[in-house]
């Protein structure tokens, strides 16, 4: 009894001490791959890698164009200051990629806005779409039209800020 308690305690201690916050794989990878982020990033994907599914543009959101999003995802729904910030785009999909690939992808996608530490920090801590996906990021985080609600990524905005800062200050390692 005492022995198993001790062993469990030591194992917990070891995990805490050795979890390297500077690696993308430690906390951020799982969060990036949560549905709150991915459903948008997969929006226009016709065949989502390894899932047998199609992005929303191909089913519930059939044929909806970029400009039309705000007809339903209004500022009142999302609590984004500018309603137009609610949109999706092509070539944002990183479904099924491992930590290294996901990390390299977000640094080098065609938008090319997040390649430097300053730009990455600014995007991950202020982008309204990201704030919408995290508890405490926006007043209406997770809110969808017709009173629906998306599941938010695990953890709150303070935890996100801490984990993002640790990764960026640690050199944005793609491990
Ligand atoms: C409402 C849809 C939406 C949600 C929700 C969303 N994103 Fe995005 N994301 C986008 C769009 C659209 C862009 C491109 C922005 C641009 O071109 O200015 C983008 C760009 C990015 C980029 C910049 C790199 C690139 O590919 O251009 C990163 C990194 C990113 N998103 C991560 C996330 C993470 C992490 C989450 C969840 C915490 C998330 N996004 C939630 C739509 C979304
Ligand atoms: C006609 C109204 C309408 C329009 C236009 C619309 N949506 Fe939606 N959207 C909804 C509704 C209702 C839901 C919640 C139910 C569902 O998933 O279909 C939703 C859900 C979503 C979700 C979350 C899915 C989930 O389960 O987490 C995303 C992401 C999304 N929409 C993105 C967009 C984008 C991007 C556009 C523009 C290209 C857009 N929507 C246009 C009504 C709309």
Quote the pLDDT of residue 113: 74
Q: Where are the domains of the chain?
A: 20-169
pLDDT exceeds cutoff 70 at 18: no
Query: 129 CB under 6 A from ligand 1?
Result: yes
The pLDDT tens digits for 103-127 are 999 998 766 677 899 999 999 999 9
Indicate if the pLDDT at residue 98 is higher than 50.
yes
d(CA 174, CA 103): 5
What is the pLDDT, as a whole number, of residue 1?
44
Ligand nearest to C-alpha 150: 2
- Report how far ligand 2's centroid is from the alpha carbon of 151 (Å): 14
- How sure is the predictor about 62, in pLDDT bands with cuts at 50, 70 and 90? confident
Q: Which residue out of 144, 150, 152 has the highest number of ligand 2 atoms within 8 Å of its CB and is therefore the one to mutate?
A: 144
């Amino acid at each position: 009894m005492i022995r198993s308690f001790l062993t469990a305690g030591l194992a917990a201690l070891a995990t805490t001490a050795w979890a390297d916050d500077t690696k993308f794989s430690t906390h951020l990878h799982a969060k990036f791959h949560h549905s709150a982020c991915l459903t948008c990033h997969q929006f226009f994907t016709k065949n989502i890698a390894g899932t047998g599914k199609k992005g929303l543009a191909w089913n519930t959101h059939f044929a909806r164009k970029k400009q039309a999003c705000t007809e339903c995802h209004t500022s009142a729904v999302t609590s984004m200051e500018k309603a137009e910030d609610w949109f999706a785009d092509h070539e944002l999909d990183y479904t099924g990629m491992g930590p290294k690939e996901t990390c390299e992808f977000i640094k080098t996608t065609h938008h090319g806005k997040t390649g430097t530490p300053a730009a990455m920090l600014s995007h991950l801590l202020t982008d309204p779409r990201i704030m919408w996906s995290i508890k405490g990021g926006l007043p209406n985080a997770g809110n969808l039209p017709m009173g629906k609600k998306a599941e938010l990524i695990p953890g709150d905005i303070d935890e996100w800020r801490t984990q993002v800062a640790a990764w960026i200050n640690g050199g944005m390692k793609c491990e």
